[in-house]
Amino acid sequence: MRISTRQRQARLASRHRLAIKADTPEEAAASVVALHGTDPATVFLSAGARLAAPGPEPVEKALYDDRTLVRMTGMRRTVFVVPVELVPVVHYSSTLAIARKERKSLLKVFGEGGWDEARLAEAEASVLRVLAEVGEATAAELGALEPRLREQVKVAVGKPYEATVSLGSRLLSLMAMDGALVRCGRSAGTWINGQHRWGLAPALPELAVPDAQAELVRRWLAAFGPGTEADLKWWTGWTLGDVRRALAAVGAVAVELDEGVGHVLPDDLEEVPEPEPWAALLPALDPTPMGWQARDWYLPPAHRAELFDRSGNVGPTVWWDGRVVGGWAQRADGEVVWRLLADVGVEATAAIEAEAAGLAAWLGGIKVTPRFRTPLERELSAL
């Protein structure tokens, strides 16, 4: 069976809630498995692009009040915002393996300062005791209560990226990867503020690693399928063997794509209806453009140099009917500006203009600067 590029674009449009909007942030996140959370603003902008009634308030409520969305380190050592029911799946399929590597790295970096496994365990136990008493705290507050977190060491000495890091900056993230801590609240400022509070994590139900990996692949295929083994290997950060075992576990069916052999779930072979033409302005690191390794079917190669940074991070993109057709940014005064990289016609241009106006309206003057800046975003923001 062959699945065409146009059919893949139709699936993307409806399943990622870009043509058919979601009612809640939880639905928006689940539609793409998880939202990218490395850049705090991406969570709000990605959800907003998929919500019938966008705005920061419902996302903040889900993150900090209801806690139905959870910020955690997951696939590829990337921070994601995950629907709460998916947290055990991400934890056992991906995060625990990352935590083991991070612990070895931390002990290597701080080993010369006298840190070994026993001393590290003492510091971790102390952090847990402190949080049991105070409930929640920022990293700075925890450093005042547990001074060992403030110990520092230089890394990459003599190299252009030499830096000084504190034990707390590494250890608190490691404890979250281990499932002991959780990012549970914003410390201050507006929703674009990246500082957060730490708290004790609730206990997770145990899952076998193969079962967790199979469930994550099932969800990815439901949202992003069809996709290739290379797409899944890149998105998860797993070995090819892990990917193939998980595909076999869910009974994935091979299909023919322009990129080669792809995979879909066994009950997902029927064509989906094409939605009405749609426009979207997606933020930097949005999960849709970052969902596949092979991107030619929705992102013309000629656009990549302007829309990606040198590390492969996508910037803000303009979409029309399943394809990336341009990029957008904000000027210093908060105005949303955009540029087309392809001729899309009068109807599409009007629809994109309406999307830009809607985005500007709910941003309400808040200025968002992507953490990883791309050539077109820099150029537009300076206009």
pLDDT tens for each residue of 246-275: 999 999 999 999 989 999 999 999 999 999
User: Tens digit of pLDDT for each residue in 95-137?
Assistant: 999 999 999 999 999 988 889 999 999 999 999 999 999 999 9
Residue 364 lies in a domain: no
Kindly state whether residue 239 falls inside one of the protein's structural domains. Answer: no
Is residue 268, in this structure, part of any structural domain at all? no
Q: What is the pLDDT of residue 260?
A: 93
The answer to whether position 56 is within a domain reads no
Q: Give pTM, 2 decimals.
A: 0.95
215 touches 91 (CB < 8 A)? no
Establish if 42 belongs to a structural domain.
Answer: no
- Answer yes or no: is 114 within a domain: yes
CB-based burial label for 302 (10 Å; 0-12, 13-18, 19+) = exposed
Cβ neighbours of residue 349 closer than 8 Å, sequence gap 6 or more: 340
What is the pLDDT averaged over residues 342-350?
96
Domain count, the chain: 1
Domain of 94 in residue numbering reads as: 85-200
Domain presence at residue 285 = no
The pLDDT score that the predictor gives to residue 241 is 98
The confidence score (pLDDT) of residue 321 equals 97
pLDDT at 186: 76
Flag whether pLDDT at 190 surpasses 90.
Answer: no
| Strand ranges (E), 223-368 | 253-257, 260-264, 279-282, 317-320, 323-330, 336-340
Examine residue 221 and state whether it is found in any structural domain, yes or no: no
Q: At how many degrees (to 10) do helices 96-110 and 167-177 cross? A: 160
Residues 6+ apart with CB under 8 A from 133: none
